[in-house]
Chains A and B, each alone.
Chain A
Amino acid sequence: MKKYLSNRKAIIVFCLPAIILFCVFIFIPILQVFYYSFFDWDGVNKATFVGLANYKRLLFKDPVFKIANANGFKFGAVITVYQLVLATIFAIAVSDKRIRFRKFFRTAYFIPVVLSVTVVCQLWGNVLNADNGLLNTLMRMLGVEWSQNWLNDRGTAIYAVAFVNAWQWMGYQFALIVAGIKSIGEDFYEAAEIDGATSLKAHWYITLPLLKDTFNFCLLISVTGGIKAFSEIDIMTGGGPGNATYTLTYIMYNYAFGRQKFGYGLTSSAVLVIECLVIILVLNWLFKDRETPLFARRKGAELA
């Protein structure tokens, strides 16, 4: 039997396709990102090693980097707050058997997730458009003199774009939290009810602490999602007005595909990867099980 399951030929044949595919399209590319970030390279001619020059220029001399980095965190903050708060409220609501039309709400909240980002951006582009956008038209019809140039205003553009992402992906975090709540036993809530806790209290002390891991993951995707932001920006503002909506990915895109400065563009990608990793580590550290919890976990346990 042991010999049967250690068939060398079978092992190689079964593993090779996945390993090759992964190496060629994911693993080697990520190594190249870091490797070429130390080079001055136009993608055609021989690359010249420049040490940390790209990093020095990007981090300390490039004014766009500051904007891009700040935008990543603004974008992340908007989608984190919007998605996490709403997703938690809605997930608790549709998990409550006393609420009617739960199936409908579930579908309604989730459905933007299955749309293509280009369709979503077109839709919201039409809503937010300055001249004949739906929002400004609605305001005009209501007789309010309050027309905003959402996507072309340096102050509002990044928030408008982040909102579109938040709107589309709220349903994803919603589904994650619904699944998390499902995994909490009913008896927790029954015990809380016997103890006379209101449902608000029960959720505060039971649901939220027990969903720690789910929240960890939700935060991870929304904070890194802000740093990685690209598609909505490329489609709706093209980095503009000026460079007001640049993000790290957009710097890479601009330098690599627009100006043939591959080394410098990849430096921006490298910084992006490092920032994402740091965020993952920090979040895992914050959410680690420890003796004195950061969150009110023990209170939940007492109540239950």
Chain B
Amino acid sequence: MSKKGSGPRKYTGVSSLIFTVFLWAYAIFSLYPMLWMILYSFKDNTEIFQTNPFGLPKVWRFENYVNAWNQYDVPLYFKNSVVVGAGTVILTIICAMMFTFAVTRLHWKGRDTARTFISTGQFIPVQAILLPVVQTVSALHIMDTYWSLILPYAAINLAFSCMVYYGFFKGIPKEMEEAACIDGASIWQTFFQIIMPLVGPATMTIAIYVFLSAWNEFLLANVLVGTTANLKTLPLGVLFFQGQFTTDWGSMGATMVIASLPAIVVYCLFSEQVEGAMTTSGAVKG
């Protein structure tokens, strides 16, 4: 509702200048470490530490990326991260969508209790249950498989995903199922052919959020696959790299860029959904 003619007052004066400078200064502070990482991924050790720590590389050493990719295990870490991320997204979405459908659209006693039960997951700190989760994973004999990460990750994201779905499922008019029922569709057909496409936007939001959180996860990955060389994800690879190849900082920088790039690209493409998803979790938690 902007009034025509008398536009909003413009900011003028010294205080607003200081404020603008402050906004820019923090933006630089927020972005610079990343920029610095990108620049040093193109430098060699001498440049990073002695001659040129801050500026643009004098020679752009693309070989750092080639080294990271060929000599170290970056492709393996990358593959692990992709598999774990995709697996977590798929499993979380299947479980959350079916569950929310059952507690919002189907009629049964105890559905509110079931929903509350799952939503308590929001309040359980992952840090506290690390050890029992590790023991559960080893008792199920899924240690040293991708499932050792995918199953706990999906469980952790379940409460949040159900919450995002809940709002969407509640908004679907109940005539949808009635019409489907009259047309003779089974409850399964109704779910897969009518409801599933309708909650597409929620699915998208959840997929992006869950993918990012699985891609960056460190806490559980550290204790579950931290010592299993062939299952390490990129966040662990970045650390392992530091321990093993401290002599080659340029390649280490390249590895960090490779680890961060997919998440940054996802954010830039879907910034609305990412922020939307995070703020939904806030709205209900609080």
Interface residues of A (CB under 8 A from B): 1-2, 4-8, 10-11, 13-15, 17-19, 21-22, 24-30, 32-33, 43, 86, 90, 93, 97-99, 104-120, 122-124, 127, 132, 134, 137-138, 167, 170-172, 175-176, 178-179, 186-187, 190, 213-214, 216-218, 220-221, 224, 228, 230-231, 234-235, 249, 252-253, 256-257, 262, 265-266, 269-270, 272-273, 276-277, 280
Cβ–Cβ contact A98 & B238, under 8 A: no
Closest-CB distance, A257 to chain B (whole angstroms): 7
* List of 7 A-B pairs having minimum Cβ-Cβ separation, nearest first: A217-B286, A29-B132, A25-B155, A18-B99, A14-B102, A179-B279, A108-B27
B63 at the interface (CB under 8 A from A): no
Which chain B residues (124-174) contact chain A, with CB distance < 8 Å?
124-125, 127-133, 135-136, 140, 151-152, 154-156, 158-159, 162
Cβ–Cβ contact B27 & A17, under 8 A: no
Q: For residue A97, which residue of chain B has the nearest CB?
A: B8
B228 at the interface (CB under 8 A from A): no
Closest-CB distance, B249 to chain A (whole angstroms): 9
Chain B 14-43: CB-based contact to A (< 8 A → 1; otherwise 0) = 000001100100110011011011000000
Give the one of A108, A132, A265 with max B CB within 10 A: A108
Question: Given contacts A172-B278, A277-B123, is CB(A253)–CB(B99) below 8 Å?
Answer: no
Cβ–Cβ contact B275 & A179, under 8 A: yes
Contacts of B129 in A (CB 8 A): 26, 29-30, 32-33, 269
Cβ–Cβ contact A134 & B36, under 8 A: yes
Which chain B residues (87-101) contact chain A, with CB distance < 8 Å?
91, 94-96, 98-99, 101
Q: Could you list 19 A-B pairs, sorted by A, with CB under 8 Å?
A: A4-B177, A10-B102, A10-B188, A17-B95, A21-B151, A22-B155, A22-B158, A25-B156, A32-B135, A98-B8, A99-B20, A114-B216, A114-B266, A119-B256, A186-B1, A228-B125, A234-B222, A249-B130, A269-B129
Cβ–Cβ contact A29 & B162, under 8 A: no
Cβ–Cβ contact A21 & B95, under 8 A: yes
Cβ–Cβ contact B128 & A26, under 8 A: no
Classify the secondary structure of B's interface with A. helix
Q: Within the assembled complex, what's the spacing in Å between the Cα atoms of A234 and B239?
A: 11
Contacts of A15 in B (CB 8 A): 98-99, 102-103, 114
Question: Among B1, B9, B125, which residue has its beta carbon within 8 angstroms of that of A190?
Answer: B1
Cβ–Cβ contact B106 & A22, under 8 A: no
Question: Among B102, B125, B276, B285, which residue has its beta carbon within 8 angstroms of that of A272?
Answer: B125
B194 at the interface (CB under 8 A from A): no
B84 at the interface (CB under 8 A from A): no
Question: Among B20, B128, B135, B222, which residue has its beta carbon within 8 angstroms of that of A273?
Answer: B128
Cβ–Cβ contact B181 & A90, under 8 A: no
Contacts of A123 in B (CB 8 A): 33-34, 36-37, 256
Question: Among A1, A4, A216, which residue has its beta carbon within 8 angstroms of that of B286?
Answer: A216
Classify the secondary structure of A's interface with B. helix
Cβ–Cβ contact A2 & B27, under 8 A: no
Cβ–Cβ contact B133 & A2, under 8 A: no
Closest-CB distance, A76 to chain B (whole angstroms): 13
Contacts of B151 in A (CB 8 A): 21, 24-25
Cβ–Cβ contact B123 & A280, under 8 A: yes
Give the one of B33, B128, B132, B136 with max A CB within 10 A: B128
Q: Within the assembled complex, what's the spacing in Å between the Cα atoms of A249 and B31?
A: 30
B83 at the interface (CB under 8 A from A): no
Question: Given contacts A118-B218, A280-B123, is CB(A109)–CB(B267) below 8 Å?
Answer: no
Interface residues of B (CB under 8 A from A): 1, 8-11, 19-20, 23, 26-27, 30-31, 33-34, 36-37, 49, 53-54, 91, 94-96, 98-99, 101-103, 105-108, 114, 117-118, 120-121, 123-125, 127-133, 135-136, 140, 151-152, 154-156, 158-159, 162, 177-178, 181, 187-188, 191, 212, 215-216, 218-219, 222-223, 234-236, 238-239, 242, 252, 256, 259-260, 263-264, 266-268, 271, 274-276, 278-279, 282-283, 285-286
Contacts of A13 in B (CB 8 A): 98
Contacts of B19 in A (CB 8 A): 93
Closest-CB distance, A240 to chain B (whole angstroms): 16
Q: For residue A186, which residue of chain B has the nearest CB?
A: B1
Contacts of B218 in A (CB 8 A): 116-118, 231, 235
Question: Given contacts A22-B158, A109-B26, is CB(A28)–CB(B118) below 8 Å?
Answer: no
Cβ–Cβ contact A18 & B158, under 8 A: yes
Contacts of B156 in A (CB 8 A): 25-26
Q: For residue A94, which residue of chain B has the nearest CB?
A: B23
Question: Among B49, B94, B117, B259, which residue has its beta carbon within 8 angstroms of that of A119?
Answer: B259
Question: Given contacts A24-B136, A30-B128, is CB(A116)–CB(B216) below 8 Å?
Answer: yes
Q: Within the assembled complex, what's the spacing in Å between the Cα atoms of A249 and B125?
A: 10
Q: Within the assembled complex, what's the spacing in Å between the Cα atoms of A19 and B102?
A: 12
Q: Within the assembled complex, what's the spacing in Å between the Cα atoms of A230 and B125?
A: 11
Q: Within the assembled complex, what's the spacing in Å between the Cα atoms of A207 and B117?
A: 34
